[in-house]
Chain A
Amino acid sequence: DAKTTQPTSMDCAEGRAANLPCNHSTISGNEYVYWYRQIHSQGPQYIIHGLKNNETNEMASLIITEDRKSSTLILPHATLRDTAVYYCIVRVASFNDYKLSFGAGTTVTVRA
């Protein structure tokens, strides 16, 4: 069973920031928050992950609340190519936690 809850869908205007929320109230102390996205007919693409500090890379920023029960993925300047299903998952960052549990994710549609 998925350990996270996400909104089913959201729209975003091209060029604007997209803020994708995720709730993970039962997260364990050694579990990281990972974000992937999947464009139709392609494999899931890794975006970013974090434990408790905010993280930023060339694709996105990840903001994790202090209690770690929720997080937000930020796409700073959404483009049409960012239209995809975004998955938030929690897992231990080790070889032993490989049974990924992807929920339904959030279908993000970026509109011109």
Chain B
Amino acid sequence: SQTIHQWPATLVQPVGSPLSLECTVEGTSNPNLYWYRQAAGRGLQLLFYSVGIGQISSEVPQNLSASRPQDRQFILSSKKLLLSDSGFYLCAWDNGNTIYFGEGSWLTVV
């Protein structure tokens, strides 16, 4: 069966520090991969999606970036975090029929 994992689950980072959130999918090949952000009490905002290795599309201009170095690995990064980057980040994968989400990562920028 397919599974998705993302880590770390929670982190507190100072303003201006770098960020790296990692996501891996098991049990499937060539999935579409996504990074979403969910602000408190609000809906999902699509940040990045990828249809293959090295192929990244950005939905929202910001100081975040994404990379897909391997087929089932998706990384969300930032060189310098802002206070406004705080939130709940979700990795997801798509089998062409249903989108499945990871456990989420809580980021607090202080």
Residues of A in contact with B (beta carbons under 8 Å apart):
2, 34, 36, 41-46, 49, 93-95, 98-104
Contacts and interface: CB of A to CB of B under 8 A. Distances in A.
A46 B4 CA distance: 13
Contacts, number: 49
Contacts of A100: 36, 44, 46, 99
Nearest to B95: A95
Question: Interface extent on B, as a size class?
Answer: 20 to 34
Nearest to B43: A102
Contacts of A104: 43
B94 A34 contact: no
B96 A43 contact: no
Interface string B1-39: 000000000000000000000000000000010101000
Contacts of B106: 41
A95 B93 CA distance: 10
13 contacts: A2-B43, A41-B88, A41-B104, A43-B101, A46-B98, A46-B100, A95-B32, A98-B94, A98-B99, A100-B44, A101-B43, A102-B43, A103-B43
